A and B are shown apart, each in its own frame.
Chain A
Amino acid sequence: METFDVVVIGAGPGGYPAAIRAAQLGASVAIVEKEFHGGTCLNWGCIPTKAMIAAADLYHHIKHAGQFGIEVKGVSVNFAGLVAHKNKVVQQLRGGIGSLLTGNGVKQFAGTASFVDRNTIEVAGQRIGAKKVIISTGSTSVMPGFLPKSPKIVESRKFLELEKLPATLIVMGGGYIGCELACMAAQLGVKVTIVELLDDVLLLLDADVRREVRMHMEKNLGITIRTGKPLEKAEAEAAEMVLVAVGRKPVTDGLKLEAAGVKTNEKGFVPVDDFGRTNVANIYAIGDVTGRTQLAHYATSQGIIAAENAVGQKPSKHESLVPGVIFTSPEVALVGLTEDEAKKQGREIITGKFRLGGLGRAIAVAETGGFVKWIADAKTDQLLGAAVVGAHATELIAEAALAIRSELTASELGRTVHAHPTFAESWMEAAHAVHGTCVHAPPKRKK
């Protein structure tokens, strides 16, 4: 039996960086994957959706090119071509991961891993020994039991494999996955209805951000949003197609966690501490399967830290500041505290907002919708959180994350020179707005 210093189970965005980091630090490493390198993110999540959303966006832009004096006639979408683009992107990245793993000397096993004991793993009838194990098996879509099994009731993975879009679509669940796919479908001409059980869609966002996104989705994309009521079974059966996006559950089937003594919680997730450790001394877990923030980049950060901890480096904790990006139309991104969270914590905060409509660049490129917002500590001026809705939001959030992690204050950020004309200037303007000294916005009336 071949024994490795570290065996990583699952080659998603958490698993493969963990394997590579462990190998970089001199450990002998194996990685087990039952389907494709890259996991949900690369194959059925982040990447393919972005390839398709890019196409949908481009189509949308072309249709609205008239405002720039560009006349386009006879534009139409060849969905098969769009899917081919998506598949090519996925193929390329999958191959990239394979060569990175090989290049770093990580031995790859194909098949479903199951624990024999805490130091032994079985893959496709073959046993491998593991001094340390990193579980990164990810998550999969939850399908509510009342929905009939039918090819027209799909979750995100099936939806991305469609060869043809329906004319109408009900999206069940107004979380970020549901809203992203709803926007994409709507841009490609599908008549979309979102059905959300809770009081609003995208509830992780502050009300002002939500309002902005919702307004665009309803007004510009013609999406119908219904909240506060569940989707009835009859509605689902009558629909041309239902996309189910109501949450994700951990993947631990066949893993035989009990053979290693790894505990799971009542929802089946593998709980870990801030160092990525499970209740079993030599077993770590990262990513969606831990039930923490279910985002690829958080899994990557967790994976790298877990790998460092597993090979015996001085233990360090997971990062706690994790930006979130949502590729709706318009895009949304946030990092750090929201106003709601700050209120819940009883923190005294001040906010500064700047609408993109006040930016020269935004007006020039006709992308004036949305705003950026800083949330700062009222006492110390420390930047605690940021949100942005509008064009390039998902790129803009990086500056905010860096500023918050560096514990910058609003006045420091405001003093930082930002290049003109750019969208990024909005951060500087909003930082000034925290103190009511924004140059490119009308003064607030004194109370």
Chain B
Amino acid sequence: MPNPIIMPKFGQMTEESSIVEWKKKEGDKVAKGDVLFTVETDKSVMEAESFFEGTLLKILVQPGVNVPVSSTVGWVGTAGEALPAVEAPKPAAPKPSAVAQPAAPAPVVATPTVTTNVPAPRPVAVAAPVCAPKLFRISPRAAAFAKHAVVDPMPIRGTGPEGRIVEKDVKDYLAAKGYDKLRISPAAKNLAAKENVCLLSVQPSEAGRISVADVERALAERPKPMSKMRQVIGQRLTQSIVTQPHFFVTVSVDMTDLIALRAKLKEQGAPYTVTDFISQAVVLTLQEFPEVNSTTDGKSIRWNSRVHLGVAVSLEQGLVVPVIRGADELTLAEINAASKALAEKARAGKLAPNEMSGSTFTISNMGMLNVENFTAIINTGEAAILAVSSTLPQPVVRDGKVVVRQIMKMTLSSDHRIVDGAMAAKFINAIKAKLEDSELWKRLTS
């Protein structure tokens, strides 16, 4: 009889884990103590060893799928041995994260995750009786019946020997669930069978009849592993919002003159974008406020002498933050060239890791997305982040009269451990003053 390979429980609190990589292929010989696969837990990557000798007969759980601990993830036995009819454990449903998703796609540094092998106790006796899962037992006849009905037999209580599910159990279960009353289009049933969708979990829409569209909806709802990129975004942002006490300061910038200047420059063939001007203004201001251009690990603070400016770029799969290195020594034209090159690389997915890390301050610009105002989450470890919103015509008071000007809102999110309110106010107003100073821009662009 083949032996089940069990997803080990590495931490007291661990309820689910996912396999990073299978170190053995189906059909490989396995000795006791061989590493079968590596497991990603909350903190680290651990190795899972085999307790049995034989052949890896079947891999039930593919890498990247989260399953409850103690699930059967595969089988070891004698080559050619028949496997018990057991389906792969269902991926664990994603739990609502402790922190609500940020409304605005705030920037993150998409450095490749470093998986550390924390020297944790080896899983000595995972298969000990206490942890051993109740084996899923079903008679072939019952399994065939459930399969024919396109129903997942996992939740059925078995009344046969040792809790084995027999045909009568499946029939009782279907009757109890009102299966007979379901009306299912033939194509919908085929699709559900093909894609392993339990028909009892499908909500019919059109006049109570389960249609192909309903099964497709159930398929779309099926939890799937998040992309590595989204996972990294999630981890970094959660770390920032939880450990760095954020507060927010907003100002309105009158962009009318700068936009007029830019339009004039554009006619003359100059390539500057509004983002370039904002980057330049931020870089100049950071050099006046070393506190804001700092990074911290919570215990010590580092005032960075150089400005490495992160600029969030939105991609289809998520966000990356390419970094303009040594921005304090670049001219406006060089900033323009550097950001253009980085953004292009980012869109082509060709940023090198060192081009996405080491920023000292970050700008998130949603100007082109028609938003009045938003707040960003600080790039972990940095002191602040500037959220730039769209420039919109607004009535404002000038010399006692209401006039229409092009107004852009900016919101600075600051880490209160490093930056206090007054500092944040001074810093953001210094940026505003620069953006509104047309003489400065004439000088920088001449």
Contacts and interface: CB of A to CB of B under 8 A. Distances in A.
B185 A380 contact: no
A160 interface: no
B187 interface: yes
Contacts of A407: 185-188, 211-212
A76 B57 CA distance: 81
A350 B192 CA distance: 19
A278 interface: no
Given A407-B211, A407-B212, A379 B194 contact: yes
B213 to A, nearest CB: 9
Interface string A398-434: 0000000011110010000000000000000000000
Interface in B188-234: 188, 190-191, 194, 211-212
Interface string B164-189: 00000000000000000000011110
Interface string A379-410: 11111000000000000000000000011110
Contacts of A412: 186
Contacts of A379: 191, 194
Contacts of B212: 380, 382, 407
Interface in A364-387: 377, 379-383
A409 B187 CA distance: 5
Contacts of A408: 185-187
Nearest to A376: B187
Scoring B185, B186, B188, B211 by chain A CB atoms within 10 A of each residue's CB, the highest score goes to B186
Interface string B20-58: 000000000000000000000000000000000000000
B197 to A, nearest CB: 12
B216 to A, nearest CB: 11
Contacts of A406: 185
A172 to B, nearest CB: 42
Nearest to B213: A407
A383 B194 CA distance: 16
B190 A381 contact: yes
A406 B188 CA distance: 10
A377 B190 CA distance: 10
Interface in A105-162: none
Contacts of B185: 406-408
Interface string B229-272: 00000000000000000000000000000000000000000000
Nearest to A411: B186
B211 A380 contact: no
A380 B190 CA distance: 5
A380 B187 CA distance: 6
A408 B190 CA distance: 10
Nearest to A384: B187
A247 to B, nearest CB: 33
A111 to B, nearest CB: 42
Scoring B188, B190, B212 by chain A CB atoms within 10 A of each residue's CB, the highest score goes to B190
B374 to A, nearest CB: 30
Contacts of B188: 407
B440 to A, nearest CB: 46
Scoring B187, B194, B211 by chain A CB atoms within 10 A of each residue's CB, the highest score goes to B187
Contacts of B191: 379-380, 382
A388 B364 CA distance: 58
Interface in A220-263: none
Interface string A340-384: 000000000000000000000000000000000000010111110
A412 B188 CA distance: 13
A381 B186 CA distance: 9
A382 B190 CA distance: 8
A377 B194 CA distance: 12
Contacts of B211: 407
Contacts of A381: 187, 190
A382 B191 CA distance: 9
A198 to B, nearest CB: 34
B207 to A, nearest CB: 11
A399 B187 CA distance: 17
A379 B190 CA distance: 8
A403 to B, nearest CB: 10
A406 B211 CA distance: 9
B253 to A, nearest CB: 36
A355 to B, nearest CB: 26
A379 B215 CA distance: 14
B194 A382 contact: no
Contacts of A377: 187
Contacts of A409: 186-187, 190
Nearest to A377: B187
A18 B283 CA distance: 66
A98 B197 CA distance: 53
Nearest to B211: A407
A407 B192 CA distance: 13
Contacts of A382: 186-187, 190-191, 212
A217 to B, nearest CB: 36
A283 B132 CA distance: 67
A18 B194 CA distance: 42
A380 B191 CA distance: 5
Scoring A380, A381, A409 by chain B CB atoms within 10 A of each residue's CB, the highest score goes to A380
A407 B211 CA distance: 7
A276 B352 CA distance: 51
A408 B187 CA distance: 6
Contacts of B194: 379-380
A372 B390 CA distance: 58
B409 to A, nearest CB: 31
A440 to B, nearest CB: 24
A243 B228 CA distance: 63
Nearest to A382: B187
B23 to A, nearest CB: 33
Contacts of B186: 382, 407-409, 412
A336 to B, nearest CB: 12
Contacts of B187: 377, 380-383, 407-409
Contacts of B190: 380-382, 409
A398 to B, nearest CB: 19
B94 to A, nearest CB: 27
Nearest to A383: B187
A405 B185 CA distance: 10
A428 to B, nearest CB: 15
Nearest to A406: B185
Interface string A158-173: 0000000000000000
B196 to A, nearest CB: 13
A408 B194 CA distance: 16
B427 to A, nearest CB: 47
Nearest to B188: A407
Nearest to B190: A380
B381 to A, nearest CB: 44
A113 to B, nearest CB: 36
A308 to B, nearest CB: 15
A379 B185 CA distance: 15
B421 to A, nearest CB: 48
A409 B185 CA distance: 9
B150 to A, nearest CB: 12
A335 to B, nearest CB: 15
A432 to B, nearest CB: 16
Interface of B: 185-188, 190-191, 194, 211-212
Given A407-B185, A409-B190, 8 more contacts: A381-B187, A382-B191, A383-B187, A407-B186, A407-B211, A407-B212, A408-B186, A412-B186
11 contacts: A377-B187, A379-B191, A380-B187, A380-B190, A380-B212, A382-B191, A407-B188, A407-B211, A407-B212, A408-B186, A409-B190
5 closest cross-chain pairs (CB), A and B: A382-B187, A407-B185, A407-B187, A380-B190, A380-B191
